[in-house]
Structure 1
Amino acid sequence: MKVVPIAVVADVTLGKMLQPTRKSDDERLLPYLRAAHVQPHGRLDLSVESNEMWFSDQERTMLDLRAGDVVVVEGGAVGRGAYLSEDMPGWGFQNALLRLRARDGADGRFISYCLQSAVYSGEIEAICTAVSIAHFTAEKVGRFRIPDHDHTTQRAIAEYLDVETGEIDATIGKLDELAETFRHRATELITRLAFGLAPKHIRNATDAHSPLSGIPEHWERTKFGYDFTESAERNSDDPPGPLLSISEYRGVELNTRTEGQQASLDVSKYRVVRPGQLAANMMWLNHGGLGVSSLTGYISPDYKAFWISDRFEPRYVHHLFRSSRYIDYFAAIATGVRPNAQRVTKTVLGATPVPLPPLDEQVRIADELDDATARVDAMLAKVAELKSLLLERRAALVTDVVTGRKEVA
């Protein structure tokens, strides 16, 4: 099949470097697209928090966004792209993105699907391999070759894939909704059992400010600072285990991230976590960013690890603080300007009221919740497997169609 460099069919433009301050009178503060807006499989997500920076009159003209454009991630998740189906007046784009504007005789949707195919196959990653962060530069994008079809064929391919991938994406969306339903029901069950609430207890706004409301009368009450003691243990020169992360869905687990936050080269000051300790991301407590560890390893120096007193069953503690009631409570007491960076200070956490059921009840509750969450995890695993199969099917379909292995009418 004949191929052609992208630069032959589209103009490639790099976005604007971040400029937080005004430098000239003709500059205006405008929102801009960034890499976070460009999601996998060609999806543009404008619900992601938008930022603003200054654009001059000339930059507003040169860096506008129109229907038919394709935006492509330049660094990090290289090659990830999204097609713009509508004009975005008043928006620019950051230099973490490239804009491809199809020339006459080319279809932006077809270019977008070609790039999706290249991401799936690893072709883009292969040409962007780097020691640190890979970059799909404007020069590399311009040279990157895609199948050469006439405009009628490009449009036919794009329309066919719009329908077929749209159906797959809709099914994936339903699976995501189902998974979220499972997680929500599990969180509500955890709250009811961990606080000893009546089955018909109605969740209300006061729960977020009074986490002990409705607990059984024979349960004792304590405060976090009385029964949880911060561990000062650090890695030093000999880490006792691997890097761990704190997942809002699973708690403390091995860090397997290939992108995003990872450990620095010097991990001597990272905090050690031992089995049975409570690990907490103090800026993510309102999203469930804490849990009792079953592993020995180390976490970010910005996190904290706590020893748990003998009055508590660690498994009960794990479920208790990851309940919806405590997530709401942490959201109410956290402080900070950014919605996704709300910190709970150690002092405020120490004053947090905590229920203290008899130890035998804690063990019984933990047993019930371990069993219930295991069942939910099994269902989530099945949903994830189905989603993975659909994504594989989507990737294969896109590649087969754009390369001509599968013909469309």
Structure 2
Amino acid sequence: MKNRRIFIYIFLFSLTSINYIDRVALSVAAQPIAHEFGISPIQMGYLFSSFIWTYFASLIIWGIALDRWGTRWVNAIGMAVFSLATVATGFAWSYMSILVTRLVMGAGEASSYPAGGKVIREWMPARERGIAAAVLNSGSYAGPAIGAIVVAFAVQLFGWRTGFILVGSSGTIWLFCWLMWFRKPELATFIDEDERALILRERNGGLPDTPTGPTLSIPDMLKSTSVWGLLITQAFCSYAQFLFLTWLPSYLQTERHLNIVKSGYFTALPYALSVILAIVIGRLSDRLLTAEACNRGGQRNMVAASMLLTAVVLTTPFVDDVWIMVAVFTLSLTGAQAGIAMNIALLGDLLPSSAEAGRGTGLLITGGASFAMIAPIATGYVVAITHSYNNAFYIAGVLALAGAFVALTMTRQPIRRKDEVEEVGEATLRA
């Protein structure tokens, strides 16, 4: 039997990579855009945050659509929308026109993580969900690493508009390949029958992957303590992630006095290193946890450990050497990346079947987007008021510590309807 699931890993990684390449373009090009349109730090904070507004509002809608119509076409539509919106940013003529393109981009990008979560639940045996979620989320760090360098050079050589047109066009190849080859494992032609049987047998930890009753609705999920724990953890982890995503290039340019190209390099390096480290953590998680431990929610321990690693950002204000700073950012980014990935895997472990994976992941990422939406704006105010980034790093670190505590204490039950949880019994839910 050949492991042809590697193609699904490639799709997942490249999906979020392209998504985040488009996101980071504004961060890298922020200074020339601000100069051209006379944008203040507070206004730029709102502009950084703007795509998250529609992203936040669209996540659950995309999740419900994915559960109803499947990942193939729904995900393709999302990719087309946010790629075209990114290209359109290159033709913007004012602050408001950039704001509009960012809002459209956010609505389209909201499809990616719910689709990725559902693909993982449909395609991956339970013992591979940690590494699969790490690969999915690693794209969100590889994207900024690639985008920071590509956009920096494009801005330096051709102007900021070319950067947006270049990265926005990158989704075309992905979209063609996705529609050409992707199908559910039951219908995919690139895997053999042995691999198909393995996936269908093991994707729910050896248990049947069909609902025993009505599938869980969003209101059903919101009655679960574990769901609230997942949402809070995702929110606190996403705060740190979006602090780096939106403000790191500006921090390097203003506080560390690096030019655009050098800030691109020093943005890319921590992101690139964190991709490797987070995948290692995902692989380690899969090796340490059995399918039975996954079904009991043992993944929460890896989530908490990752959040503690994210809190290393607290040391940033005390670091002067640029290479030690790179190490701090790498460790903190690794923790944030692994925390989000392991949280997605934990959600898959706690859901009863893949039938709820789209809306469940949409709900989870909505929790993350709630604080991702706040991070760029809050940082803009912190910088404008204090003329320093120190307090912004302190806020992110404290939230990461709180997220570790929440992960350990609130995600200890499977996500079921209340009557089903009572039947299972809390004694079977302890890791």
Using structure 1 for the length normalisation, give the TM-score: 0.27
Q: Give the number of the structure whose residues are more often strand, by fraction.
A: 1
Which has the larger Rg?
A: 1
Q: Give the number of the structure whose residues are more often helix, by fraction.
A: 2
Using structure 2 for the length normalisation, give the TM-score: 0.26
